[in-house]
Amino acid sequence: MKTALITGATSGIGKATAERLYKEGYRLVICGRRTKRLQDLQSAFGGGENCAILTFDVRDKKAVEDAIASLPVPFSDIDLLVNNAGNAHGLDPINTGSLEDWDAMMDINVKGLLYVSKAIIPSMVEKKAGHIINIGSIAGKEVYPNGNVYCASKHAVDAITKGMRIDLNAYGIRVGGIHPGLVETEFSEVRFKGDVERANTVYQGYKALQSEDIADIIAFVVSRPYHINIADLVVYPTAQASSTILKKGEN
Ligand code: NDP
Ligand code: 8X3
């Protein structure tokens, strides 16, 4: 049985990925800050035998280290790391954006991903095997109006993914990035600070990607024979052609 650690498993893409990998027979370590949601998911997966919970804020270096170090065998032997935790905070021009939002995006999306990776990579290096999937974004491939710092954080994820693949090549570790376009999750609710009405408009008038679509792609990527590493995937809803081109209405 393989073990997968998924960050941001309380919602959206991470939750759907946990559900899908559970069905695929993985032992799971599910992470997030909202403990109740993790507990509900663990119960749905039949309890603690094959699913461990880690509650931490990825911004807290020590909490990340301590949580991952606390994992008992067999959960500590991680074969697959899905670095998914992240969000956009705000959608403002660079001249009016808030420092708090910028800190949140760089600290969570970039540094948090590094802290989690730092805690897990040594065991992969030691066993000369493992798979790391970083959830980037189309925002990591192009910059769109008012996306500035979120786009910067996701460009960093893209660069870190490439750097990981290069540096971990000697150890036979697979590293890849998945870069979705618009996925209907709690993402916009977080970006717009709880303004559900505004968040909903992001997904209206066309068929957005669903979390399960990305989970399905992750299940495909991880199930390839070990000599295949799907390194870089951009996934749009059919209605979307770029960050700024979105066709709404009937075909
Ligand atoms: P959600 O808001 O639904 O989920 C975000 C997840 O990240 C939650 O489980 C949340 O858990 C976790 N998270 C956020 N901040 C922290 C933190 N400080 N510490 C620990 N965990 C944290 O959004 P998505 O599922 O859409 O987002 C998942 C990833 O996909 C993100 O990296 C996002 O940038 C990326 N993405 C999303 C797209 C979209 O259109 N939705 C498109 C492209 C990429 P909790 O709050 O419990 O801590
Ligand atoms: C999430 C997609 O277009 O809001 O990364 O940046 S977008």
- Amino acid 250: pLDDT: 75
Question: Does residue 243 have its Cβ closer than 6 Å to ligand 2?
Answer: yes
Successive 10-residue mean pLDDT values, the chain, 251 residues? 98 98 98 98 97 98 98 98 98 98 98 98 98 98 98 99 98 98 98 98 98 98 98 98 95 65
Domain contains 198? yes
76 SS3 class? coil
Give the count of domains, the chain. Answer: 1
CA distances for 154 relative to 14, 48, 168, angstroms = 17, 33, 21
206 included as an active-site residue = no
Ligand whose nearest atom lies closest to the CA of 243: 2
User: Which residue segment(s) compose the domain that 34 sits in?
Assistant: 3-235
Residue having the nearest C-alpha atom to atom 15 of ligand 1: 86
- Best mutation site among 13, 109, 110, 137 for ligand 2 pocket (most ligand atoms within 8 Å of CB): 137
The CATH number of the domain where 87 resides is what?
A: 3.40.50.720
- Amino acid 251: pLDDT: 65
Ligand whose nearest atom lies closest to the CA of 212: 1
The token pair at 145 is: 């109006």
Domain contains 241? no
Helix (H) or strand (E) run with residue 4 in it? strand 3-6
Cα(180) to centroid(ligand 1), Å? 12
Domain contains 247? no
